[in-house]
Structure 1
Amino acid sequence: MGGKKIINDPVHGTIKISGVLLDIASSPELNRLSQIRQLGLAYLVFPVLHDLGHGPFSHTMEKVFHDRIGKDHMALTRDIITGESSDWSSEWLDPEERGPTIPEILEHHGLDPGEVASLVCQEGRPSNDSQDKLDVDGGQAYFGGPEYLFQIIHSALDADQLDFLLRDSHYTGVAYGIIDLDRIVNTITLHHGEMMVEKRGISALEGMLVARSLMYSSVYFHKTSRIAEGMLCRAGEHLTDSELETVWKMSDGEVLRFMMERGGKAGELAKRLRFRRLYKSAFRLDSEMLSGEDDDSGQMREFVRTLADERERRKMESELERRANAPPGAVLVDVPDPGLVLSEPRLKRTDINVLGERPEPLSAISSLARALQRRPPVPWCLMVSCQEEIREDVARAAEKVVWSVLSGS
């Protein structure tokens, strides 16, 4: 342990790390993340501590794992930080090669793994017992409590979000995620222990919220990406609970190879992903169709809400396969909102306080922030995809099923 390291990051430039950051960056748990793609199949991320519990392809299979095992990536992250999870690296590394675990690294630097886990995993605000750790010379010691520690990790303006918007924009080659990071950082201030933004930073904040909204609608929920993710999720549903737990500790390449060698439906879908033989979109229902106040919109909202249940989704997939004379597993139904609750709770949050003469929420000052709260995060609320050769048949079947909801038949 000890020393320092210079990282040349393609987004933020030169970054110097030392101490606990360097020791954590050298751990097997964190280095596993260098082989996990946050955008499914788009690019490699530079990981941070709260990502430790991510499985292969980041959030893609999280709902499957949560439904079957009862844990999401935050619960898994807590287990790793506190040492409650099994040491997955021991299968390949002996103790000397492996080095210290995450809780051992934290304790070596005088940090309580339990407190770190609570902060990282959104289990409550830091207590005032940490007051003595604040920088007196930096003018922090008079604050009522370090609320900003929580906000840096979990808020509408957290460090992860500021990073992934720029990083994802860089690696995907789109301009939607470009934000004025310098302006945002230079207008952040502390007020009674809470992180706020000065009024002169409002335009930069609005730009960040627009970038976030556009990246979700145009990149993260691009129809082809969602189809690929849906295929991987269905492959995961064909694994046993024990296999799922094993898969969660793998890298992206390892999980596809594992599924292909396993065979069956999981192997077939993994092979399609490996060689980009993806399903095609056959039918989509626009989110705008749910926004009306008329009876038709109400019926459609209830229909889509019903499909959020896995059993109802499977029933619809089977019905579409029956009508299109398609084999089992040839049709996928995707309703994105349930997954958002687990993977991205910040998506529509604009609860950033702006400090002028007194603190005010951004949404009370900015009409743009209020408008973005109403904007659907995904341009479609229901998508049906299938094997390309049955696309037309499935499209006709989906139209009949969906529009029958409106007619009440």
Structure 2
Amino acid sequence: MRAVAEISDPIHGYFYLSSVEKDIVDSPLFQRLRRIRQLASAYLTYPSAQHTRFEHSLGAMHLAGYAGNVLKDKEYVSSDDVQMLRLAALLHDIGHGPFSHLFEEVLEVKSNITHEDIGRMIIRKSAISDILAKHGYRADEISDLAFGQSSRMFLNEIISGGLSVDLMDYLQRDAYFTGAHYGRIDAERIISSLEVYDGRLAIDRAALNSFESLLIARYQMFKAVYFHKTVRAAEVMLLKAMMLADGHLHLSESYKRVEDYMRLTDDMTLANLLMLKVDVNNNNDKDDSNIKELRLAKRLAEDYRDRRLFKSVFESILQASSRLINRLTDARYLKDRCDEIAGIAGVDPDMVYIDSAKAPSIPRAPGKEEPRDLILVGKEPFRVKRIELKDIPLISSILGYMNMIRVYTIEEHREKVAKAALSVFGSEAESWYERIAV
């Protein structure tokens, strides 16, 4: 691979682009990622978190090349495999919509589709496919590798999972731009230790401590940044606004034409929400409930823009034994609890929001299955050892899911809704009201 361009990056220093990579990066489809923030709304809490999917994709590409070269030196892969890994990592986020995972929630509810489905479509059926073909690469092979469908499992694991370059880049990048210290990891130590055994990615047993630190860092970043109550407050507002306005703006149908999807960026989507026409006299649809939804969507967008965010009045970091665990994803149950809390508090149900968040403590493997073991490679007589994650003390302490539920409302209703939420959820959580009472 001949370098034709150089990138200066605050996380990884200087690294290069090959000719095929440069052509992809210069394409409008990839340049669009400059306008999609990596952490959606986190910049309203962490002012410097303005980084985007664009630089994360470049960073993941660089680390994929590093990992590929380590495996090439150990004679597991070829030079062509290394370039394919770099291309897959470069394109693994190409299908993300505005506000990243928030928009994906809209897609999943309304269209039952994911950003990975859209990414496959873009790689295979857009100008990206033409660029790859021009340089001698097959779009279907790159797409399969980018989204965990390569026949060689260990290559998939480099792109996604507990040893992935995706994870190692975003932890360091998110920590750097938010100012949080939890995401500091020794990625070079882990990558340099990579091995392949029985078709799976493995590490040298001497790097086990670094692997433990990687997963603990991810866990801490979820608690401190990704699930931060104010970050989630902004995201709840934006998600609600997009859901309410979807029928009018057709957001969840935009993926059907690449040209339409290209126009969906963070700022453009927020602008569309802010420009919603909510006057009955100027709207072709005279349905009062629809007008009410659009008015609420526009108000939420305005409050989001001006950082008038919801207040968290009730919070629970749920244990595995909690009776609420299995209801976190039950939309009907959560809607009923919202109405119940609003009724007790005597407020408009539209002013009460329940946010439930659930994330696996250990990143999912490429096939989305729950990881259960780690392959360690070392010197004789114990050259290879499969170790269950539950048998690694630090990791066993975080196995399972991070489960969180919060109740939000506007400033003027804080105390009433806090008391109502406490009466509904009982002793399952700690509420804002209890904390200030102390």
Question: Taking structure 2 as the reference length, what is the TM-score of the superposition?
Answer: 0.75
Report Cα offsets for 1:62-101 as digits up to 9, x if no partner. 1221110110111111111111xxx7xxxxxxxxxxxxx1
Cross-structure match for 2:192? 186
Match of 2:269 in 1: 255
- Equivalent position of 2:354 in the other structure: 333
Aligned to 1:224: 230
Would you say the 8 A contact 2:317–2:402 is kept in 1? no
Q: Distance in 1 between matches of 2:391 and 2:364?
A: 23
Q: Residue 252 of structure 2 corresponds to which residue in structure 1? A: 244
Q: Which residue of 2 aligns with 1:153?
A: 159
Alignment of 1:9-28 (within 5 A): 9-28=9-28
- Per the alignment, residue 177 of structure 1 pairs with 183
Deviates more, 1:319-328 or 1:346-355: 346-355
CA separation in 1, counterparts of 2:191 and 2:328? 41
Partner of residue 394, structure 1: 417
Distance 1:243 1:360, change over 3 A: closer
Structure 1's unaligned 5+ residue stretches are 88-100, 127-145
Amino acid in structure 1 at the alignment position of 2:303: R
Q: Distance in 1 between matches of 2:112 and 2:180?
A: 36
Does the 8 Å contact 1:317/1:332 carry over to 2?
yes
| Residues 375, 384 of structure 2: 8 Å contact kept | no
| Paired residues of 1:33 and 1:52 also in contact (CA < 8 A) | yes
**Secondary structure of 2:96 counterpart:** coil
Say yes or no: does 1:44 pair with 2:51.
yes
Query: Which string of whole-angstrom CA distances, capped at 9 and with x for unpartnered residues, describes residues 355-376 of structure 1?
Result: 12114236276222222215x5
Greater shift, 396-405 or 48-57, is seen at 396-405
In structure 2, the partner of 1:214 is 220
**Equivalents in 1 of 2:207, 2:428: separation in Å?**
47
Over 3 Å counting, the alpha-carbon distance change for 1:306 and 1:189 in structure 2 is: closer
Q: What is the CA distance between 1:265 and its match in structure 2? A: 1.4
Count of residue pairs the alignment pairs up: 352
AA in 2 matched with 1:335: S
Q: Hey, what's the Cα distance between the residues in 2 that align with 1:221 and 1:254? A: 25
SS in structure 2 of the partner of residue 384 of structure 1: strand
Q: Residue 221 of structure 1 aligns to which amino acid in structure 2?
A: F
Confirm or deny: 8 A CA contact 1:363 1:370 kept in the other structure: yes
Match of 1:66 among 105, 108, 125: 108
Match of 1:377 in 2: 402
Which secondary structure does the structure 1 equivalent of 2:119 belong to?
A: helix
Residue aligning to 1:266: 297
**Within 5 Å, which residues of 2 pair with 1:77-92?**
77-83=119-125
Which is further off, 27-36 or 169-178? 27-36
Residue of structure 1 in register with 2:312 after alignment: 281
Q: Is the 8 A contact 2:390 2:399 kept in 1?
A: no
- The runs of 5 or more residues in structure 2 that have no matched partner are 42-48, 58-89, 255-259, 279-294, 430-438
CA distance in 2, matches of 1:38, 1:364: 31
Asked whether the 8 Å contact 2:316–2:428 carries over to 1, the reply is: no
Correspondence 1:109 to 2:135:
yes
Normalization by structure 1: what TM-score? Answer: 0.80
Structure 2 CA distance for partners of 1:166 and 1:3, relative to 1, 3 Å: closer
What whole-Å deviation, never above 9, does each CA across 1:322-381 have from its counterpart, x for those lacking one? 3222224211101112xx47xx6469846432112114236276222222215x525xx2
Distance, in Å, in 2 between the alignment partners of 1:74 and 1:3 is 29
C-alpha separation in 1, matches of 2:228 and 2:210: 26
Counterpart Cα distance in 2 of 1:351 and 1:22: 38
TM-superposition CA deviations, 1:110-143 (whole Å, max 9, x none): 2221222222223x332xxxxxxxxxxxxxxxxx
Q: Is the 8 A contact 1:156 1:351 kept in 2?
A: no
CA–CA separation in structure 2 for the residues paired with 1:206 and 1:324: 45
SS, match of residue 314 in structure 1:
helix
Return the letter of the residue paired with 1:43. Q
1:353 is matched with: 375
Contact 1:280 1:387 in 2 (8 A): yes
- Displacement after TM superposition at 1:391 (Å): 0.8
- State the one-letter code of the partner of 2:104: E
How far apart in 1 are the matches of 2:223 and 2:145?
A: 30
8 Å CA contact retained: 1:281, 1:386: yes
Tell me, what secondary structure is at the counterpart of 1:373? coil
Segment of structure 1 superposing worse, 187-196 or 5-14: 187-196
* Percent of matched pairs sharing the same residue: 32
Q: 1:373 to 1:307 in 2, by over 3 A?
A: closer
Cα distance in 1 for partners of 2:428, 2:15 equals 55
2:35 counterpart of 1:29: no
Q: Could you list the per-position Cα deviations for residues 215-250 of structure 1 after superposition, in whole angstroms to 9, with x for gaps in the alignment?
A: 111111111111111111111111235233348641
Contact 2:328-2:357 within 8 A present in 1 as well: no
Change (3 A) 1:363 1:286: closer
Task: Verify the 8 A CA contact 1:61 1:232 in the aligned structure 2.
Answer: no
User: Equivalent residue of 1:268, what SS?
Assistant: helix
